[in-house]
């Protein structure tokens, strides 16, 4: 486009795409957006922040020419754009500076209708899907742009430095958050329960929780199934091991000498295992039973229950 040729009356804005092919960060700044004939046309407008980061995917940048609609004529306007790298160094061949000319006529809808909108018989702009505003100059994004992002066209957000994502919902953290923390702002983490510090690197429990337990607060552990205690160091047996055994693993008892059974509630007597209790009577032992008793009279090598 030659800046010396006036833009036609029917053209109310121009669009171009900008993006960075590499992963490096670049920033732009509109230094000048100025009408030189403000009785015919107001200052040019852009649909992006005047200062922001150059996106890594193609995004539409739109410059609008708001004719006032009060009189016919040709208005001159100036646009200056500066591009910098992450260190603030100006990129070669910038700033870009140009003066354009725009032909304006008396309009039914002062300021014109943008983004494909048209002026109806009531002199009100009717907008295309995805746009709204008196001049159809605003785009709709669903979900909306977060963290200061700007919706530039339907479903497209331009994010401020430090954020990215479809709706600018993700923070670009230079350091990672530890122990399941989530980065919510550049350099800041939301820590899970039980951790603190800039990067969630500090446990709130002075001694670590054992057996898969997780720290949930100041010296408080949430134990995994089968364990309990301040540090989740004690196993749980349900029901318990009684007075004659010790719970050594979840639902596993170690019985004292002379006792056996899953819950250590059965006693060896005289080398013969008999159920205890007044309801059980002793019966004479047959020769066959005596042989079986003799073969099994010695106690097992271990009291662990498998």
Please tell me the predicted confidence (pLDDT) of residue 156. Answer: 87
Query: What is the pLDDT confidence band of residue 20, given thresholds at 50, 70 and 90?
Result: low
pLDDT tens-digit series, residues 246-275: 888 888 888 988 888 887 888 887 644 444
Residue 127 reports pLDDT greater than 70: yes
SS (HEC) of the chain = CCCCCCECCCCCEEEEEECCCCCCCEEEEEEEEEECCCCCECCCEECCCCEEECCCCCEEEEEECCECCCCCEEEEEEEEEEEEECCCCECCCCCEEEEEEEEECCCCCCCCCCCCCEECCCCCEECCCCEECCCCCEECCCCCCCCCCEEEECCEEECCCCEECCCCCEECCCCCCCCCCEEEECCEEECCCCEECCCCCEECCCCCCCCCCEEEECCEEECCCCEECCCCCEECCCCCCHHHEEEEECCEEEECCCEECCCCCEEEECCEECCCCCCCCCCCCCHHHHHHHHHCCCCCCCCECC
Residue 207 reports pLDDT greater than 50: yes
Mean pLDDT in residue range 136-165: 86
Mean pLDDT in residue range 41-69: 81
pLDDT tens-digit series, residues 267-297: 887 644 444 444 334 344 444 444 443 444 3
């Amino acid at each position: 486009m030659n800046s010396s040729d006036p833009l036609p009356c029917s053209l109310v804005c121009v669009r171009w795409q900008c993006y960075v092919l590499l992963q490096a960060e670049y920033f732009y700044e509109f230094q000048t957006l100025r009408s030189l004939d403000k009785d015919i046309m107001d200052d040019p407008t852009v649909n992006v922040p005047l200062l922001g980061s150059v996106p890594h995917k193609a995004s539409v940048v739109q410059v609008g020419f708001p004719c006032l609609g009060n009189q016919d004529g040709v208005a001159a306007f100036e646009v200056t754009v500066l591009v910098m790298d992450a260190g603030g160094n100006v990129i070669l061949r910038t700033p870009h500076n140009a003066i354009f000319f725009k032909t304006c006529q008396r309009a039914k809808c002062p300021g014109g209708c943008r983004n494909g909108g048209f002026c109806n018989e009531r002199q009100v702009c009717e907008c295309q899907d995805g746009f709204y505003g008196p001049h159809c100059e605003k785009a709709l994004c669903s979900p909306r742009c977060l963290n200061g992002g700007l919706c530039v066209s339907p479903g497209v957000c331009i994010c401020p430095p430090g954020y990215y994502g479809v709706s600018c919902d993700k923070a670009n953290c230079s350091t990672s958050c530890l122990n399941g923390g989530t980065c919510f702002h550049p350099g800041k983490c939301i820590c899970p329960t039980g951790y603190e510090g800039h990067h969630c690197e500090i446990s709130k429990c002075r001694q670590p929780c054992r057996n898969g337990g997780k720290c949930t607060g100041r010296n408080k552990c949430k134990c995994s199934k089968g364990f309990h205690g301040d540090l989740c160091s004690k196993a749980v047996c349900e029901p318990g091991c009684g007075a004659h055994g010790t719970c050594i693993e979840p639902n596993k008892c170690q019985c004292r000498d002379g006792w056996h059974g899953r819950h250590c509630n059965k006693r060896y007597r005289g080398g013969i295992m008999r159920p205890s209790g007044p309801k059980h009577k002793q019966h004479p032992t047959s020769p066959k039973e005596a042989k079986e008793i003799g073969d099994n009279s010695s106690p097992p090598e271990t009291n662990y229950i498998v």
